[in-house]
Each structure stands twice: as structure tokens, then as C-alpha cells.
Amino acid sequence: MTENAWTRWPSREALGRAGITRTRRVLVWAVRLLVLALLLWSAFSQRHVGIWGAAAAATGVILAALVSWAFFRTTYEHRLTSSVALTGVLLGIAVAAEATGFRGPALVIWCGCGVGALERLPLGAAVPVASVALASYAALTDDAWLTTAATVVGLALAGYVLRLDAEARGSAQRLLAQERAARMAEAQSAALAERARIAREIHDVLAHSLSAQLVHLEAARLLIENDADRDRILERVVAARGMARDGLAETRQALSALRGELTPLEDFLTGLVSSADGAEVTVTGERRPLPAEASQAVRRVAQEALTNVRKHAQGAKVTVRLDYGEHEVTLHVRDSGGRPGELDGAGGGYGLLGMRERAELLGGSLDAGPDEEGFVVTLKVPV
């Protein structure tokens, strides 16, 4: 037993009614009413007192019941001084009952005080209170000493067992409350994560599509200002329209991804590079479905990498390689180098920072930088 066990109160969950079954509550109240009825019957059945004496005894019984109720309330609120004082009042009522010839009610009150103290008070206060109450019972009962000793020990054990039972019930209630709080926090965290994922998908789609459109539209504007050939201007407008169409398709795909309806990753990469001249896709390893987050990360990084190629390395040959490993999937996007786009610095896009953040959210990594010929982007995502 720890050092503070003598001063520690039973928890409020243990002293309250939460967690008590309906059958047990009915049984407890039946016992209380039975005891109260027996005490009242004992008060009115005494032949040596008159009507006024019986009425006074009944008043004492009702007073004891009210004090007991107050004792239950003060112990629930962990008010030690008030609880001990109320126990003292009950012991005083028992002494008065004994002095006026009502031994039966006095013995019941002393036993109740001993059991209630051990069940509801800190042990440092419960032990002396229970000792006084049970010693009073032992001194004034008419039973044989062996029976009295067994009764006293049994009452003390009953009070302590009730205390342990209440503590176990209180611990169960606290664990249940913690589990509910943990589930609620988990649900809120999942909701926030899902909101972040949706926001990330929308941002990625818009950043990729709109930045590409901006490149072509700004190029068309510059061509118009420089009185360029009509066909060149029309080519840029048509390209921007194509980007808008692709953006709409990507938006639909993002919605499908949020619903868990993803097309095969290999088909997506093939369709992605089909519009790029000099691009090819290679897939190695054992092909298998990927988790939605990992699949989306590969798709978005491939999109952003190819967008950067269009902006910064026009005319470059691009190779896209997807490697299925045992514990991770790796995407390589490499270009052979080319001329900068007409608006190399236009369009913001999601950029390498966004790609790296997406990879790190999944526990993966992203490396991007120049090599001997051009630029290479490598994404690794655990699966």
C-alpha cells in the first residue's frame, strides 16, 4: 500500500452511482428501506415507552436517515471535516438510543457507521472511526464474545471489500471515459487528416492545371504583343484549352480518388506522358495496388515533374520509371535537358517544396536536382 493511500479519498466515480447496474441499485435501496422499516418498527414496538417516547424514537430514526444521506453527499464531495462530523452525529444518536433503551437501533447505527466509514472515507480517518463504531457495538451487544468478534471482523472486511469494489468500478468508469475521449480525439484527428488530404488534392490539381495554362496564355500574350504569326498564337491558345480540359479531367480524377476509385497507376503514367514528345514509361518490379495516399503521391509528383519539364526544359527527352520494391515504391522522372520555356519563371505551381512535403507526410522522401545531362526527380514512398 502506497504512502498516500491513507489520505487518498475513493474517487468520485467510485462514490457515485455511475456504473452500478439497475438490479444492484434496486437491491441497495431495498436493503436501505428494510433497515429503515426495521428501525421504525423497533421504535414503535418498545413496550416501556409511551406514545411520545415512540414518536421521539421515530424522529431519531428519521434524523439518522437524513444524517446518513448527508454523509453520503459530503463523502462524494470529499469534505473530510463535514463527513467525520456527521459520523460523530450518527454515533451520538446511537449512544442516545442505547441510553433510552433502544439497543437494536443503536447496534445497527454503530455497524452502519463502521462499514460506511471503511467504504467511503480515507483510510486514515476510516480506521479510527470504524474502530470506535465497531468497538461500541462489541461492548454493548449481548452475543457471545466469539460471535461478537466474528461479527466485528466480518463487518470490517465487508466495509473494505465494498471499498475495493467501488474503487474497481470507479477505475472502470475512468478507463471508459478515457477510451471515449481517445476515440473522439481519434475521430477528430481522422476528420482533420481527411480535410487536409482533400485540401491537398484540390490544391495540387489547381496548381498543376492553372500554372500550365498560365504559361501558355502568357506566351500567347507576348506573341500578340510582338505581332507574331497567327498560327503560333493559336497554337498557344489551343494548348491552354487542352490544359484546361486536362485540369477538368484531373479534378474528376481527384474526386474519384477521394472516393477510392483510382485508375491503375501504370495507366495513369502512360496517359500522362502520351501528350509529351520524347517521353516514355518503364515499370519494374511486381505490380500491385497501392494505398490511396501513396498512389496519389506518385501521380502528383509525376504531374509536377512533367510540368517543370515543359516550363524549364522544352524539347527534352523524358524517362519515367516506376519501381515496385518489397517495402517501397520509387518513381524516377529524368529529363535530358532542353531549352527554357518562353516564360521560365511564370506559373508558381505546386513546386518541389509541395512534392517533398507530400512525400514526408507518408514517411517517404523526395530528391530533386541536376545530373550529368538534365534534371532528375526521385520519389520514394513506403507501402
26-49 pLDDT, tens digit each:
777 777 677 667 665 665 565 555
**Domain parsing of the chain, residue ranges:** 3-142, 184-382
Query: Average pLDDT for residues 279-306, to the nearest whole number?
Result: 83
pLDDT of 350 over the 60 cut: no
From the CB of residue 178, how many other CB atoms can be counted at a distance below 10 Å? Answer: 10
Query: Average pLDDT for residues 134-160, to the nearest whole number?
Result: 85
Q: Which residues sit opposite 381 in a β-bridge?
A: 329
Q: What is the pLDDT of residues 53-100, one digit of tens each?
A: 566 767 777 888 899 889 989 998 889 999 999 999 988 988 888 887
Which long-range contacts (C-beta less than 8 Å, at least 24 apart) are formed by 138-146? 140/98, 140/103, 140/106, 140/107, 141/107
Q: What is the pLDDT of residues 296-323, one digit of tens each?
A: 888 888 888 887 787 777 777 888 999 9
Report the C-alpha gap between 333 and 356 in whole angstroms. 14
Task: Kindly report the pTM of this predicted structure.
Answer: 0.50
- For the residues of 136-205, what is the DSSP string, one character each? HHHHH--S-HHHHHHHHHHHHHHHHHHHHHHHHHHHHHHHHHHHHHHHHHHHHHHHHHHHHHHHHHHHHH
Report DSSP state, residue 374. Answer: S
* Residues contacting 42, CB < 8 A, separation 6+: 57, 102, 104, 105
Q: 184-382, what's its fold?
A: Heat Shock Protein 90 (3.30.565)
Which long-range contacts (C-beta less than 8 Å, at least 24 apart) are formed by 168-171? 169/13, 169/14, 169/19, 169/20, 170/10, 170/11, 170/12, 170/13, 170/14, 170/15, 170/16, 170/19, 171/11, 171/13, 171/14
Query: Average pLDDT for residues 195-217, to the nearest whole number?
Result: 74
**Grid coordinates belonging to 198:** 482533400
- Which pLDDT score, from 0 to 100, does residue 70 have? 92
Tell me the CB-side half-sphere exposure of residue 273, using CA atoms within 13 A. 23
- Which pLDDT score, from 0 to 100, does residue 84 have? 92
Q: Which of 74-83, 212-221, 253-262, 332-341 has the highest mean pLDDT?
A: 74-83
From the CB of residue 85, how many other CB atoms can be counted at a distance below 10 Å? Answer: 14
pLDDT of 347 over the 70 cut: no
The answer to whether 58 and 43 are in contact (CB under 8 A) is yes
- Which pLDDT score, from 0 to 100, does residue 45 have? 60
Q: Which of 195-199, 230-234, 347-351, 376-380 has the lowest average pLDDT?
A: 347-351
Confidence of residue 295 (pLDDT cuts 50, 70, 90): confident
**Grid coordinates belonging to 128:** 479510527
Give the neighbor-by-neighbor strand order of the sheet with 375-382: 279-285, 318-324, 328-335, 375-382, 365-370
Using a 10 angstrom Cβ sphere, with 0-12 exposed, 13-18 middle and 19 or more buried, the burial of residue 191 is: exposed
More confident residue, 149 or 47: 149
pLDDT of 8 over the 70 cut: yes
